[in-house]
Chain A
Amino acid sequence: MDRAVAIDVSHLSKSYDGHPAVTDVSFQVYAGEIFGLLGPNGAGKSTILRTLITLLSPTSGHATIFGLDSLGDADRVRQVIGYVPQERAIDRFLTGREHLELLAALYHLPKEEARRRIAELLKLVELETHADRPAKTYSGGMKRKLDIACGLLPDPKVLFLDEPTLGLDVQSRLKIWDYVRLLKTRGMTVVMTTNYLDEADQLCDRLAIIDSGRIKTIGSPVELKVGLGGDIVSLTLKESDTARSLESALKGQPAIKAVRTTAKGLDIRVESPEKALPAILETANRLGCSVEFIQYNRPRLDDVFIAHTGRRIEEPAGDAP
């Protein structure tokens, strides 16, 4: 099935004063999908996003949105995109409705259409009752809803969300995920940045893992997890210094694909648990390592991240890649 390409990023790089933020990034987003940029803070996700919405110009490479170049056709790109920024980008003194009216004027909408859209949006994000109160009276969740309404006002073809559920409570997060899925059913393409593994896993059709300004891998959550090629057996060892010797003993064995030491013991990637588990336990016994706890997982996105970047998403990056 040939899917239309909504966004095409080609060898994009961005440096600030010689310091590279994003290096040689290439990917495509298909029309109508939810695409995620997953990575820790400082990975370069926001830089990529802001380049796509024409707020930054690339140092090299280019990006096109529905065929329009983000640099050369910036004005036309801005007509078809919506943006929900990371911070609560609202004016405390204006009411919710005034925010939408201001934006409607900036998108050059005729008054009647503006009125209609604003009414629809306020209903969609459930801000009707508060629409005419100043934004400073809004709770964090309401401000976020206003942000989303603002992003949707121009009825964009692509909606860009920068860390949409950062710092929100569980209920608000689930609500926002529902909105995003609803937008997808309406045919909107959604590009979002996130540092939440569960968000990337559950919401995104496809995602790119970004670390230290580079793309490490791209694919759907399922593809990426299957691509790891195997399930994970996690051992918690009684004495963690025995981990090293157990690691070397296990490494060569046929059922074992990879071994990694963790704070508590070992993470072992195996082909099939029926063959691997007995081998692991036998080796541990032979070396006299006491195994306190065994856990067996299908691969999680967490494991995908570790596999491609060498560390957990919460851990800070090492020096230059």
Chain B
Amino acid sequence: MMQYWQEINALTMRWVRRLSREKFSMLFTLVQPMLFWLIFFGNLFQRAADTQVTQAPNYISFLAAGVVVMTVLNNGLAGGVDLLFDKENGFLERLMSTPIHRTSVILSRFIFVMTITSLQVLVILGVAFLFGVHPATGLLGIAAILLIGMMFGVGLTAISMAMAFSVKSHGDFFSVLGFLSLPMIFLSSALVPLSAMPGWMSVLAKFNPMTWAIDAVRPLILSSWSEALPHVAMVAIVMIVFDGLCLYGGAKAFRRAMG
């Protein structure tokens, strides 16, 4: 057990060191493009967004939940990139030829991605706070939001790592990433409530785990625990199933890649 901890610690610290060495990357990581979604998009659509439709005091407070989950989406799907590069330059082989537990590398990646994502979510909620968005369910609600984010993030990171282990060239990885991200955002309740979407889009959005996550985070920000709880319970179930599938697929991809 001590040995497992020693491995995970060393492997996770490697990701931390790399991040702190790439000054620009670190800056962009914290001052996320997601912030621009929140600040520019949120304020831009202030008047175009009908408060009757969004059921929120202003568009930016409606959008906040969407931006939080979009952050989780982007981080999660990009979570496997470093493993892809490790696989390509042979570093992964070096790691796997040591007596570490076969899951250590993957677990360290999960821990790192989840931690960074949580920090970014806090920054986003912090900036939203400056624009007048005060989470209705307080600190406990924020903790719940982080938890929902992490549950969604686990499945996404698993998908990302499965892709990293399966693609033949890293061009494929980035193409698939780009192809998945935007449709997932638009076919969700991030920007517009489900009820206000055209029929066919709302049907597709219901199959998107993002929608469930957003519809649980939003009442945590905008309304109250009584409104939020049923959604939180539902998203927990959705995420357990989602994560289960993703982890299973990821494990298979990993085993196949390891020969």
Please report A residues at the B interface, Cβ cutoff 8 Å: 50, 53-57, 75-76, 78-79, 81, 83, 85-91, 93-94, 98, 101-103, 105-108, 134, 150, 154
Q: Which of B2-10, B53-61, B165-173, B206-214 contacts A (4 or more CB under 8 A)?
A: B2-10
Q: A50-B259, A57-B259 are in contact. Are A91 and B99 (CB under 8 A)?
A: no
Q: Nearest chain A CB to B91's CB is how many angstroms away?
A: 5
CA distance A93 to B26 in the complex (A): 14
Apart from the given pairs A88-B90, A91-B18, A106-B10, 4 other A-B contacts in the complex at a CB distance below 8 Å: A89-B91, A101-B10, A103-B98, A134-B21
CA distance A108 to B22 in the complex (A): 28
Q: Nearest chain B CB to A65's CB is how many angstroms away?
A: 12
Q: Does B50 contact A (CB under 8 A)?
A: no
**Of B3, B7, B10, B11, most A-chain CB atoms within 10 Å:** B10
Q: Give the total number of A-B pairs whose CB atoms are below 8 A apart.
A: 74
Task: Please give me the residue from chain B that is nearest to A90 by CB atom.
Answer: B91
Contact B94 A89 (CB under 8 A): yes
Q: Nearest chain A CB to B226's CB is how many angstroms away?
A: 48
CA distance A143 to B95 in the complex (A): 17
Q: Does B89 contact A (CB under 8 A)?
A: yes
Contact B90 A87 (CB under 8 A): yes
Q: A88-B89, A93-B21 are in contact. Are A106 and B99 (CB under 8 A)?
A: yes
CA distance A221 to B245 in the complex (A): 55
Contact A98 B17 (CB under 8 A): yes
CA distance A301 to B241 in the complex (A): 61
Which residues of chain A come closer than 8 Å to B252, judged between CB atoms?
Answer: none
Q: Does B182 contact A (CB under 8 A)?
A: no
Q: Does B100 contact A (CB under 8 A)?
A: yes
Interface residues of B in 1-47 (CB under 8 A from A): 3, 6-7, 9-11, 14, 17-18, 21-22
Q: A105-B6, A134-B21 are in contact. Are A94 and B100 (CB under 8 A)?
A: no
Interface residues of B in 85-129 (CB under 8 A from A): 89-91, 93-100
Contact A106 B17 (CB under 8 A): no
Q: Does B258 contact A (CB under 8 A)?
A: yes
CA distance A57 to B91 in the complex (A): 19
Q: Nearest chain A CB to B11's CB is how many angstroms away?
A: 8
Which residues of chain B come closer than 8 Å to A90, judged between CB atoms?
Answer: 89, 91
CA distance A66 to B24 in the complex (A): 49
CA distance A88 to B88 in the complex (A): 11
Contact A150 B89 (CB under 8 A): no
Q: Nearest chain A CB to B141's CB is how many angstroms away?
A: 37
Contact B22 A89 (CB under 8 A): no
Task: Please give me the residue from chain B that is nearest to A153 by CB atom.
Answer: B98
**Of B17, B91, B93, which one neighbours A55 at CB under 8 angstroms?**
B93
17 residue pairs from A and B, CB less than 8 Å apart? A50-B93, A50-B259, A55-B93, A55-B97, A78-B98, A79-B99, A83-B93, A88-B90, A89-B89, A89-B90, A93-B18, A105-B7, A105-B10, A106-B7, A106-B10, A107-B99, A108-B6
CA distance A76 to B98 in the complex (A): 10
CA distance A83 to B97 in the complex (A): 7
Q: A85-B90, A87-B90, A91-B91 are in contact. Are A54 and B97 (CB under 8 A)?
A: yes
CA distance A93 to B7 in the complex (A): 19
**Of A55, A85, A89, A107, which one neighbours B259 at CB under 8 angstroms?**
A55
CA distance A134 to B18 in the complex (A): 10
**Of A93, A105, A106, which one neighbours B22 at CB under 8 angstroms?**
A93
